[in-house]
Structure 1
Amino acid sequence: MADKITYTEAFDELQSIISHLERGDIPVDELAAKVKRASLLIEVCRTKLTATEEEVKRVIDQLPE
């Protein structure tokens, strides 16, 4: 899943779910599925951020002093 969705897409969907949760717009029957989806989206964002941080560190480490 992490390779099929961009960070921005995951973040935007997560923001949407959070907004619906805050407003109470999610029916009880869908609540568990939305929370599970939010958990997956958080993991996607975390993974992509970590990978980007590692790549940036690699690039910086390769810069001449």
Structure 2
Amino acid sequence: MAPSLPFIPLLLHSHYSFSPFTPLSPYSLMTYAEAITELETLLAELQEVPADIDQLHARVARAEVLVASCRAKLRGVEEQLAELGKATEG
């Protein structure tokens, strides 16, 4: 199982403009594959292990952070591809 990272409440809601790739963020150190693996682990835990409400909240919050991190990484790749496409066209 991936190491536990601190709970960061500001990352929980998509309406915040905080990026998981700020210089001090531990999420910027995770690869996309590591985040996906941890998401799969969290999903399995949510499906198999009965949790109290606090554990459930922590797991869902962690999943939201990981999803935001993956989306940001994918957006970054899309932007790089768009720039590459512009460079090769012109």
Shorter-chain TM-score category? Answer: 0.7 to 0.9
More helix, by proportion: 1
Give the length in aligned residue pairs.
64
Aligned counterpart in structure 1 of residue 35 of structure 2, from 10, 25, 30: 10
Task: Name the amino acid aligned to 2:69.
Answer: V
For the residues of structure 2 that align with 1:55 and 1:8, how far apart are their CA atoms? 19
Instruction: Using CA pairs under 8 Å that are at least 6 residues apart, name the structure with larger relative contact order, 1 or 2.
Output: 1
Q: In structure 2, list runs of 5 or more residues that go unmatched.
A: 1-25
1:45 counterpart = 2:70: yes
Show structure 1 runs of 4+ deviating over 2 A. Answer: none
Q: CA deviation at 1:2?
A: 3.5
Task: Name the amino acid aligned to 2:68.
Answer: E
Q: If the length of structure 1 is used for normalisation, what is the TM-score?
A: 0.83
**What's the RMSD between the two structures over aligned residues?**
1.6
Q: In structure 1, list runs of 5 or more residues that go unmatched.
A: none
Q: If the length of structure 2 is used for normalisation, what is the TM-score?
A: 0.63
